[in-house]
Amino acid sequence: MQVVYAYRDSRGWGVRLARAGRQRGLAVHLFSQADAVPDRPVPVFVHMNHHPDLRAGDKQLMARLAERRVLLIPTALEAELYDDKVRQYRLLHRYMPPSWHLVTREQARAVLPTMPYPFVSKAATGAASSNVRLVRTPAEAEREIALAFGPGIPLHWAQRQRGYLFWQRFCPDNAHDWRVTIIAGRYAFVVRRLNREAVPFASGGTRFEPVEAIDSPFVVNLLNQALQVVLAYGFLLCAMDFVLDRGALRLLETSVGWPFQKFASARFFVWQGGAWRPTPYREAHLFELLVHAIGAGEFT
């Protein structure tokens, strides 16, 4: 019988995976420390927490596991990228809107005359658009500079953004974004997430529409572009947010964590025989799908 190791995370994803494994004859061993995982090619599933304190510990765990010969789900690279928008841009900039990582007041002042208003200012960290701001005027941009290279910009979880700015060209005329989640490089679900009422950002909102059928060339193109990113970097458990920019799809960020069952009704599609096809799985069946994919050797 194949053996899988699952991290006993604070959100209970590992426990859910173990429960699904028992129902399908897959042995899932729960662990809390990296030393409990053998140094051999076994699948190891880790759900990472979005809270900064817990996430830091989860990243350390992933780094220790990456030193072993295990099959990490998500991969060590995905763990490095998680909730680090600057690191994501360095790797994935060809898919993203033009952005600037500015680490001195002088750099920010030099770039400022070239910035089209409005533009987006982000902290490197922060889920659900909690640390994302729309800069509409030169006065607002000057305030960003003064705070970032002074006392710091207040952030979610009582953090501060200090010593850098991350500015990104705003993609206008989007009433929503597209969240594409791909597992094992072949299973995907898509959700159209409507913007929040007060800001032109969808992440963190409560209104969304799952894609039930692949009934347009646009959805096929969206899935294909997401798959291209996943296959280029060997991602195994990746959520991606896309918007339209002058007719082209642009990637905003990637993630390895999302609220389980928030998109429970979203249907999984599978890349099979050169085309996307519907499956009986929905996001509510996530752990059953993970067990199936691990048991079938589809995580490689």
What local confidence, expressed as pLDDT, does residue 9 receive?
96
Residues recorded for the chain: 300
247 versus 204: the higher-pLDDT residue is 247
What local confidence, expressed as pLDDT, does residue 129 receive?
64
Domains of the chain by start residue, with CATH: 3-81 (3.40.50.20), 98-169 (3.30.1490.20), 176-295 (3.30.470.20)
Say how far apart CA 34 and CA 62 lie, in whole Å.
8
Residue-wise pLDDT tens digits, 67-125: 999 999 999 999 999 999 999 999 999 999 999 999 999 999 999 999 999 999 999 99
Residue-wise pLDDT tens digits, 186-211: 999 999 999 988 788 877 778 889 99
Average the pLDDT over 129-145 and give the result: 92
Task: Give the residue carrying structure tokens 């082209």.
Answer: 248
**Please, is 71 exposed, middle or buried when counting C-beta atoms within 10 Å of its C-beta (0-12, 13-18, 19+)?**
middle
